[in-house]
Amino acid sequence: MTDAPERIWIRHAVAAASTQPNVAMNMVQYIRADRFEAIYATERAAREQTEAERNAAVADGSILRELLALAYSGFDNLYTDDGELVDNSTHPYIDYGRDSAETLREKIQERGRAKLDALAAHDTGKEAEHG
């Protein structure tokens, strides 16, 4: 099994370092340059992976927003021109493309409470009529 060219160069440089100080300095610079390239390549790969992961997460988020819009609001209540995904059928208006996840939850809960309040008021009115 043979050594890689870098190991051979480093082994010869170390052997020559005692008699030639410049060789030792060049060896250190060579190692530093080699490490820099490895670190740079690793960081670049990490950035590319992070960007790919971020793009995948954005795509997944868009799909989930579309599914939520269709499941909660229904196709008939959605304004979808020009890439919009908005339900203006009832207040509060829900913009599935721009509202944060927290805002979406708050608006859906507000709509749900309004429906429950309307049902409770309707049931109370019936009881008063038949009372």
Neighbours of 66 (CB within 10 A): 15
More confident residue, 3 or 99: 99
Neighbours of 62 (CB within 10 A): 13
- The model's pLDDT over 35-71, given as tens digits with 9 standing for 90+, comes to 666 666 777 777 887 888 989 999 999 999 999 999 9
Residue 76 in tokens: 């008939």
If phi > 0 it is left, if psi is from -120 to 50 it is alpha, else beta; for residue 81 that is: beta
CA–CA dist 77, 72 (Å, integer): 10
Span 21-34, average pLDDT: 53
Residue 90 in tokens: 């009832």
Percent pLDDT > 70 in the chain is 64
Q: pLDDT at position 12, please?
A: 52
Span 107-121, average pLDDT: 94
Query: Which ranges of the chain would DSSP assign to H, the alpha helix?
Result: 5-17, 21-72, 101-130
b/e 8-35 (16+ beta carbons within 10 angstroms → b): eebeebeeebeeeeebeeebeeeeeeee
On the question of pLDDT at 114 being above 80, the answer is yes
Q: Could you tell me if 69 and 85 are in contact, meaning their C-beta atoms sit under 8 angstroms apart?
A: yes
Instruction: Let me know how long the chain is.
Output: 131
On the question of pLDDT at 21 being above 60, the answer is no
pTM of the model: 0.59
Q: pLDDT at position 60, please?
A: 93
Q: pLDDT at position 104, please?
A: 95
